Chain A
């Protein structure tokens, strides 16, 4: 699983729909696990009705059986294509739904946990350096603007960003930023430096421009050497 376009499959079933001596939802989960699907979740629902138009609800004892179960999973389009025929065959009483979705983040704590030190991989090429100049006291929806910008850049999958605080300066606001004993809050100049491919920086520039009220964005061409671990490099190659 990587970031980007994917398919989300939802299967609506009864919790006691039989399947070869067991229940269907368990059989489906086992099948998905066997097929190496990234993850699947079965949820027992509160109440509902389906194709038989009979209400299933835990409130009335007579109807408390056959509660609805929903099995969901997200996978790449190819993988869904591969397993859908079997699912179609398995679900003899229920409903299968496929929708387009976008994967924003796939985080795996175990994989990120301290890996043995591996040699880094070197990638060199032309890149763009973007420098954003703003004030430390600038806010964006109540949080520091520099914080919001870094989070936004991370969401956009920009390679990296560094925020540095200057010790003196002036800029678009026309006042000198300096530290004084009289002021408890600080409004020092802040610079965010970002290096990535020209295309990605162009996208980032647009996003940052929207957030920046008054400030300065400076772009320059640089030669970049990225030292990355091969795990990340392999992921990038996959995506």
Chain B
């Protein structure tokens, strides 16, 4: 069974000085997770009260990182990601993976 994880947070969130989404994708690679995709939302809101949207000079749009991998890999990843995130939402759903390219992973 595979799991799909959705991480919601803000574009302005940082982890040790760099964008959190970059840090999370790097962490996924480091932990050999099958893949991660970052989406930037148009607008949205969440734990922090303000409406996130692009203004003239600052970008503070919502970010969604989508990760799909086998359940045990996701369970391995989650504590690390939770540690890095300040506030936000992690949504987990069970999915069935129809096709993976075996050649992509060693």
Per-residue CB contact flags for chain A residues 78-112 toward chain B (1 = under 8 Å, else 0) read 00000000000000000000000000000100001
Interchain CB contact under 8 A, B92 and A225: yes
Minimum CB–CB distance from B86 to chain A (whole Å) comes to 6
Check A147 for interface membership: any CB of B closer than 8 A: yes
In chain B between 82 and 106, which residues have their CB closer than 8 angstroms to a CB of chain A?
Answer: 82, 85-93
A221→B94 CA distance, assembly (Å): 9
Find the B residue at minimum CB distance from A154. B45
Given the known A-B contacts A150-B43, A190-B42, are A162 and B8 also in contact in the complex, defined by CB atoms under 8 Å? yes
Q: Which chain B residues border A159 with CB–CB below 8 Å?
A: 46-47, 89
Minimum CB–CB distance from B50 to chain A (whole Å) comes to 9
Tally of chain B residues near chain A (CB < 8 A): 26
A224→B91 CA distance, assembly (Å): 4
Q: DSSP class of B's interface residues: helix, strand, loop or mixed?
A: strand
Q: Which chain A residues border B88 with CB–CB below 8 Å?
A: 226-227
Q: DSSP class of A's interface residues: helix, strand, loop or mixed?
A: strand
Given the known A-B contacts A120-B85, A122-B82, are A160 and B91 also in contact in the complex, defined by CB atoms under 8 Å? no
Check B49 for interface membership: any CB of A closer than 8 A: yes
Q: Which chain B residues border A107 with CB–CB below 8 Å?
A: 49
Interchain CB contact under 8 A, A112 and B93: no
Check A3 for interface membership: any CB of B closer than 8 A: no
Per-residue CB contact flags for chain B residues 55-75 toward chain A (1 = under 8 Å, else 0) read 000000010100000000000
Check A161 for interface membership: any CB of B closer than 8 A: yes
Interchain CB contact under 8 A, A161 and B93: no
Query: Contact partner of B47 among A150, A165, A193, A232, CB < 8 A?
Result: A232
Interchain CB contact under 8 A, A163 and B89: no
Interchain CB contact under 8 A, A120 and B87: yes
Interchain CB contact under 8 A, A129 and B91: yes
- Please give 19 more A-B residue pairs, beta carbons under 8 A apart, in addition to A227-B85, A227-B87, A227-B89: A107-B49, A112-B49, A117-B86, A146-B43, A150-B43, A150-B44, A150-B51, A162-B46, A162-B62, A163-B62, A164-B41, A165-B42, A190-B42, A193-B8, A193-B64, A195-B6, A223-B92, A224-B91, A225-B90
22 A-B interface contacts by CB (under 8 A): A120-B85, A129-B6, A146-B43, A154-B45, A154-B51, A160-B47, A161-B44, A162-B8, A162-B41, A162-B62, A163-B44, A164-B39, A164-B40, A193-B6, A220-B93, A224-B91, A225-B82, A225-B89, A225-B90, A226-B47, A227-B86, A227-B88
